[in-house]
Amino acid sequence: MATSSRPNVLFISADQWRADCLSAVGHPLVKTPHLDRLAAEGTLFRNHFTQAAPCGPSRASLLTGMYAMNHRSILNGTPLDNRHTNIAREVRKGGFDPILYGYTDTSVDPRTVAAGDPALRDYGGLLPGFREGFRYDDEICLPWINQLRSKGYTLPWHPAQTYFADPAAVLPAGKGHSYAPTLYRAEDSDTAYTADRILQHMQAHRGQGWFIHGVFLRPHPPLYAPEPFNRLYAAEQVALPQRESSLAEAKAQHPFLDYWLDVQQRPGYYFGHQHNVVSLPEAELQQMRATYYGLITEVDLHLGRLFDYLRETGEYDNTLIIFTVDHGEQLGDHYLWGKGGYFDASYHIPLIIRAPECRGARGKQLSALTEAVDLMPTMLDWLGLPVPASCDGESLLPWLQGADPAQWRSEVFWEYDFRDPHTQQAEQRLGLNSNECTLAVLRSERYKYVHFTAMPPLLFDLLDDPGEFHNLADNPQYLPILLQMAQRMLSRRMARADRVLANTLLTRQGVINPPC
């Protein structure tokens, strides 16, 4: 669908951004005017879900188009097998020079480097196929840190603490700890830096056709924002998390949740926050959520700079723009913070696409169930490039063109692996071996089935219980639904098992269905 002139692709990913935190979908507080405009000029997918958590596994699925059951990069730091192709490798075959500004959180296959290679000490490596514009090193943007130093900022001894609250800030009475601003000004933030670098690349390569993967860290914690974004939303106006009446009630839902809520109560569990985030006072919870919203609006502001440049230079109608996220954020719901587990808040994420020639769904908000693995096939399809047989997703181009594909999926699928090869804490607490510390979810519009490899399942009726508070797996009335969902999950896994060569056949007449 790309035009005859060399097209552009602006593939933007933020980090840890919930699907409900867009004003375009009706959030009562969060303001995202630039993404709202992109949605009005493109297409917003309201039921979009990632395939894994945390960052590494989710981005592995996003960038390879594969379910975690196939790519098997299941933890932050689990190597991504070098045999797998990815979006960067495929568009490079098509003549592009894909460049990364940010990070992919993918770990190098140790079989491809020497034993002492420094890449083996950094889980957030550069995904093969990308050229590096700038890259985070162990969750820290060192080029940005160096720029702050060059501007005269006095920084903490450890670079990671640059993201924390300004130690010299005086917290007003009655304000939660995350009200404190950062030590850097808004114009010098990591978000501003990322947008600056992407903008510079677009300016330097105007009219040449480019493929940019730009990754913004925010609103990933720590939940501290520069002025004025730290105080953009009044904490007292922020709704409290949706959660059970007590921590004990939340833990009673499942043995995994009992374990995970204990883990989250450890000081420092939530990056940049030394408090026990599970038992914070309500005012603190509201302030953390308010600052999270402020970080979102900051990202939106800088995305607007990128979109406006494309409009002003006439490149807007020659650029495929995709905005999405790696995974969501619990934000205190069910007493949880961060991402993982099985609740929708961790996996339901934003997706907005503007494909210039695709006007059939322009300005629409679609309710189709879509997955992060759909984005690699979509980009390749739009560019007129072949989609590898390894991709588990489907192109969204028909939806963007205004069609309603008859054979579209009726459920989304995701996985979460909670093993701990280093400390074995999950294994010891739950009495499981590492390969049993896994769960998978099949979610339709109404029902949600959670299958644990070696623990009891869960079943939720999302029509009656959208907050996922009432497990129906032991209710005899729901046994037919439980069995049907389990069967459909098994069928999904069987149909999507590694099939790169499964449909290829060598004959005396030659190769039938050669893999692309």
291's tokens: 């600052």
Task: State how far the Cα of 51 lies from the Cα of 44, in Å rounded to an integer.
Answer: 19
Q: What is the C-alpha to C-alpha distance for residues 89 and 127, in angstroms, rounded to an integer?
A: 9
**Separation of alpha carbons 346 and 339, rounded Å:** 5
> Among 55, 141, 358, 391, which one carries the catalytic annotation?
55
Query: 300: Cβ–Cβ under 8 A, 6 or more apart, which residues?
Result: 31, 32, 33, 34, 35
CA dihedral 355, 359, 365, 370 (to 10 degrees): -50
Alpha-carbon span 288 to 284, nearest angstrom: 6
How many CB atoms neighbour CB 378 within 10 A?
25
Cβ 79 vs Cβ 107: under 8 Å? yes
Give 440's strand partners. Answer: 415, 451
Catalytic status, residue 55: yes
C-alpha–C-alpha distance, residues 471 and 468, integer Å: 7
Question: What does the H/E/C string look like for 342-392?
Answer: CCHHHCECCEEEECCCCCCCCCEEEEEEEEHHHHHHHHHHHHCCCCCCCCC
Give the separation between CA 159 and CA 56, rounded to whole angstroms: 21
DSSP 420: -
Distance CA 341, CA 417 (A): 8
> Which is nearest to 162 in space by CA: 171, 174, 153, 173?
153
Number of C-alpha atoms within 13 angstroms, CB side, residue 60? Answer: 32
Closest alpha carbon to 275 in 283, 288, 266, 286: 266
DSSP state of 292: H
* The dihedral sign for the CA sequence 238, 239, 245, 246: negative
Catalytic residues: 55
